[in-house]
Amino acid sequence: MEIIIRDNPQDCARVAAKIVAKYLRGKKGPVLGLATGGTPEGLYRQLISLYRAKKISFKNSTTFNLDEYVGLTHSHPQSYHRYMKEHLFDFIDIPEDKINIPDGTACDLRQTCLDYEARIKASGGIDLQVLGIGRNGHIGFNEPMGSLSSRTWIKILTENTIKDNARFFEDAGKVPRHVITMGIGTIMEARHCMVMACGWKKSQAVKAMIEGPVTAKWPASALQFHKRTTVVLDEAAASLLFHKEHYGWVEKNLLEWQNYEMP
C-alpha cells in the first residue's frame, strides 16, 4: 500500500483530486468508481473547481458507485443517487447514461446486482476506485465477517453502521437495514484503489486496514492483497499507525513521476 499523510482533510481532498485528475487527463475513457459519505465531499468540491477551471472534463468518463440503500427512491434526500447529484454530477459534464449507481428500488434486487457486475465488466473494468472506510473497517457496505471475495449483492448493515449513518437521517429507525454494495471481490478488481480517511474516529480502522492481519473482522484489510492501493489520511486518522514515519520517508523519496504532487 502507498500511504499519503496530510495535515488536514482539505489537504487530503487536494491530493485525492490530483489522483483522480490524473486518470481524467491521462485516459481516453476513464472508468471511475465513486464513494459517498462525509469523507469524499471535499474531493468532489475540488473536482468541481478543477472542472470549472477547465482543467478536467468528465465527458468521456464512466462512473460506478459502490453502494445504495435498498428501498430509498432516487430522489430521497438520503439516497446515494441524490447524494451524487448534489455533491458532483449536477456540476460537471458527465453524460447521464455513463452514470451507474446500484438501484435499491429494483423489483428484482438479485438481478439488478448481477446486471451491475455485468455493466462493470462491459465497461472494461474500473480504473480508479475511490473508497471511504467505516469505523468498523467496512468498505462500500461490506460489513465485518462477510466474504472477502464477495460480489455485488444485497447486504444487511450492522447496528453500529446504522447508528453512524443515523446522523444523515431523522433518527436511526429511518436508516434502511438493507443495502446493495459492490463486493470486496468486485472492489479488488479495480486497477487502482484510493481509500480516504480523516479524523481520529477512523484511526483504529485505518490501523487495522494497513498494519493489521488480513481478516474479515476488518474488511478493508483485504486491500493489503490489492496490487495498487493508495491511502490518503489526515494526521488524526493516521495517529495510531506504528510505521507512520516510514510512510513519510517513502513519500519523501518517491521519484518525480511517482509523486502525485508533481505537475
Catalytic positions are 67, 136, 138, 143
The nearest distance, CB 202 to ligand GLP, in angstroms, is: 7
Neighbours of 3 (CB within 10 A): 22
Show contacts with ligand GLP in window 22-41 (CB under 6 A).
35-39
Alpha helices in the chain (DSSP H): 9-26, 41-52, 80-87, 109-122, 159-165, 184-188, 203-211, 244-252
List 102, 104, 134, 176, residue binding ligand GLP (CB under 6 A):
134
Q: Does 218 bind ligand GLP (CB under 6 A)?
A: no
DSSP-based helix, strand, coil % in the chain, nearest 5? 40, 15, 40
The nearest distance, CB 258 to ligand GLP, in angstroms, is: 26
Q: Give dist(CA 179, CA 184) in Å, integer.
A: 14
Q: Give dist(CA 183, CA 192) in Å, integer.
A: 16
The nearest distance, CB 116 to ligand GLP, in angstroms, is: 15
- Between 152 and 171, how does the x/- string for binding to ligand GLP read (CB under 6 A)? ---------x---x------
User: By C-beta, is 240 or 250 nearer to ligand GLP?
Assistant: 240
**Given the rule CB under 6 A, which residues bind ligand GLP?**
35-39, 66-67, 132-134, 140-141, 161, 165
